[in-house]
Structure 1
Amino acid sequence: MTHTLKTLATSSMLALAVFSAAPAVALDEQQKKEMGAFIREYLIENPEILIEAQNALEAKQQSKRVEQSMKGIADNRQQIFSSPTDITLGNPKGDVTVVEFFDYNCGYCKRALSDMDDILAKDNNVRFILKEFPILGPDSLAAHRVANAVRLLAPEKYAQFHRTLLGAEEHASEATAVAVATSLGLSEAAIRKSMAEKPNDDIVRQAYQLANSIGITGTPTYILGDEAVFGAVGSEVIEEKVANVRACGKATC
Structure 2
Amino acid sequence: MQPVKHLIALLLFAIATTGLAAGNANAASFDDAQKEEIEQIVTDYLLENPDVIRQVFGKLREEDSKREQAARAERANRAKQALAENKDELLNAEDQIVFGNPDGDVTIVEFLDYNCGYCKQAFGSMLSLVESDKDLRFIVKEWPVLGPQSMEAALVAMAVTQEAPEKYWDFHKAMMTLRGTADKESALRVAEKLGLSRSKLEALYEDKSLIKPIEDNYRLAEALQLTGTPGFVVGDEVIPGFVPAQALQSKLESVRSCGSTTC
Same structural fold, with TM-score higher than 0.5 when normalized by the shorter chain: yes
Aligned match of 1:185 = 195
Q: Which runs of 5+ in 2 are unaligned?
A: 16-23, 29-34
User: What's the TM-score once normalised by structure 2's chain length?
Assistant: 0.81
Counterparts of residues 58-137 of structure 1 (less than 5 Å): 58-137=68-147
Between the aligned partners of 2:25 and 2:258, the Cα distance in structure 1 is: 56
Aligned counterparts of 1:93 and 1:29: Cα–Cα separation in 2 = 75
In structure 2, the residue matched to 1:44 is 53
Mapping for residues 160-239 of structure 1, pairs under 5 Å: 160-197=170-207, 199-239=209-249
- In structure 1, stretches of 5+ residues that fail to align are 16-25
Change (3 A) 1:158 1:48: same
- For this pair of structures, how many residues does the alignment match? 239
The residue matched to 1:252 in structure 2 has which SS? coil
> Over aligned residue pairs, what C-alpha RMSD do you find?
3.0
CA distance in structure 1 between the partners assigned to 2:241 and 2:5 by the alignment: 47
CA distance in 2, matches of 1:132, 1:194: 17
Q: Distance in 2 between matches of 1:137 and 1:205?
A: 14
Query: 1:241, 1:251 within 8 Å by CA — same for their partners in 2?
Result: yes
Cα distance in 1 for partners of 2:224, 2:5 equals 48
Cα 1:189/1:58, change in 2 over 3 Å: same
Instruction: Report how far residue 210 of structure 1 moved.
Output: 0.7
Percent identity between matched residues is 35
SS in structure 2 at match of 1:101: strand
- What TM-score does the superposition give when structure 1 sets the normalisation length? 0.84
Return the index of the structure with the highest Cα Rg.
2
Residue type of the partner of 2:143? Answer: F
Query: 1:249 Cα shift?
Result: 0.9
In the alignment, the residues of structure 1 paired with residue 177 and residue 97 of structure 2 have an alpha-carbon distance, to the nearest angstrom, of 17
Aligned residue type for 1:228? V
**Quick check: 1:156 aligned with 2:193?**
no
Work out the CA distance in 2 between the residues paired with 1:234 and 1:109.
11
Find the aligned partners of 2:142 and 2:65 in 1 and give their Cα distance: 34
Corresponding residue SS for 2:109 = strand
- Deviation of 1:4 (Å): 7.8
Provide the rounded CA distance (Å) in 2 between the counterparts of 1:5 and 1:66.
46
